Amino acid sequence: MASSNIYTSVFDEDVQTDNQTNGCPECGGCVETNTVETVCEACGLVLAEHAIDHSGEPVYDDETERTGAPLTTARHDRGLSTMIGRQRDAKGNTLSAKKRRQLGRLRREQKRGRFRSKQERNLSHGLGEVQRIASVLDVDDTLQEQACQLFRSAHSEGLLLGRSIEAVAAASVYAACRCNGRTLPLADVVEAAHVGENRVTNAYATLNEELGLPAEPMQPHAYLPRLASNLDVPDAVRRQARTLAERAEETQIVHGASPPGFAAACLYQAAQRADYRLTQAAVADVAGVAANTVRGHRDTLSNELE
- What's the rounded Cα separation, in Å, for the pair 265 and 296? 8
Same domain, 126 and 207: yes
| DSSP per position, 263-288 | HHHHHHHHHHHTT----HHHHHHHHT
Domain contains 37: yes
Domain contains 207: yes
- What's the rounded Cα separation, in Å, for the pair 270 and 142? 35
CA 64 from chain centre, in angstroms, equals 25
Same domain, 205 and 224: no
Same domain, 203 and 131: yes
Which pLDDT band holds residue 220 (cuts at 50, 70, 90)?
confident
164 phi-psi bin (left φ>0, alpha ψ -120 to 50, beta other): beta
- Please say which residue of 190, 211, 232 terminates a domain: 211
Same domain, 241 and 186: no
Identify the pLDDT of residue 132: 92
Domain contains 94: no
Identify the pLDDT of residue 12: 46
Q: Name which of 217, 215, 125, 209 is nearest 167 in CA terms.
A: 125
Q: From residue 96, how far is each of 25, 102, 251 by CA, in Å? A: 66, 10, 75
Residue 92 buriedness (CB in 10 A; 0-12 / 13-18 / 19+): exposed
Looking at per-residue confidence, does 304 or 9 come out higher? 304
CATH of the domain at 179: 1.10.472.10
Same domain, 258 and 182: no
pLDDT, tens digit, 9 for 90 and up, residues 118-134: 788 888 888 889 999 99
Domain contains 66: no
| DSSP per position, 230-257 | HHT--HHHHHHHHHHHHHHHHTTTTTTS
pLDDT, tens digit, 9 for 90 and up, residues 75-85: 666 666 677 77
Same domain, 297 and 240: yes
What is the H or E stretch that residue 165 is in? Answer: helix 165-179
CB 263 within 8 A of CB 224: yes
- What's the rounded Cα separation, in Å, for the pair 206 and 172? 11
High-pLDDT (> 90) share of the chain, %: 11
Q: Which domain holds residue 42?
A: 24-54
- Please say which residue of 211, 242, 259 terminates a domain: 211
pLDDT, tens digit, 9 for 90 and up, residues 174-188: 999 988 888 788 888
Using the predicted structure, report yes or no on whether residue 63 has a pLDDT greater than 60: no
CB 178 within 8 A of CB 164: no
Domain contains 49: yes
| DSSP per position, 197-241 | HHHHHHHHHHHHHHTT--PPPPPGGGGHHHHHHHHT--HHHHHHH
Long-range contacts of 68-73 (CB under 8 A, 24+ apart): 72/145, 72/148, 73/127, 73/145, 73/148, 73/149, 73/152
Least confident of 15-24, 32-41, 188-197: 15-24
Same domain, 144 and 205: yes
Domain contains 69: no
Which pLDDT band holds residue 20 (cuts at 50, 70, 90)?
very low
Collapsing DSSP states into helix, strand and coil, what is residue 89? coil
Which pLDDT band holds residue 7 (cuts at 50, 70, 90)?
very low
Identify the pLDDT of residue 13: 46
Q: Name which of 272, 192, 271, 258 is nearest 223 in CA terms.
A: 258
Same domain, 256 and 294: yes
Same domain, 207 and 124: yes
High-pLDDT (> 70) share of the chain, %: 79
Same domain, 129 and 206: yes
Domain contains 7: no
What is the H or E stretch that residue 176 is in? Answer: helix 165-179
Identify the pLDDT of residue 11: 43
Same domain, 271 and 200: no
Domain contains 156: yes
Same domain, 134 and 172: yes
pLDDT, tens digit, 9 for 90 and up, residues 101-120: 888 888 887 776 676 677 88
Task: Please tell me the total count of domains within the chain.
Answer: 3
Q: Which residues contact 132 (CB under 8 A, 6 or more apart)?
A: 192
CA 143 from chain centre, in angstroms, equals 4
Collapsing DSSP states into helix, strand and coil, what is residue 32? strand
- Please say which residue of 211, 245, 260 terminates a domain: 211
Task: List for the chain the helix, strand, coil content (%; round to 5).
Answer: 55, 5, 40
Q: Mean pLDDT in the chain?
A: 80
Q: From residue 54, how far is each of 35, 57, 89, 151 by CA, in Å? A: 10, 9, 36, 41
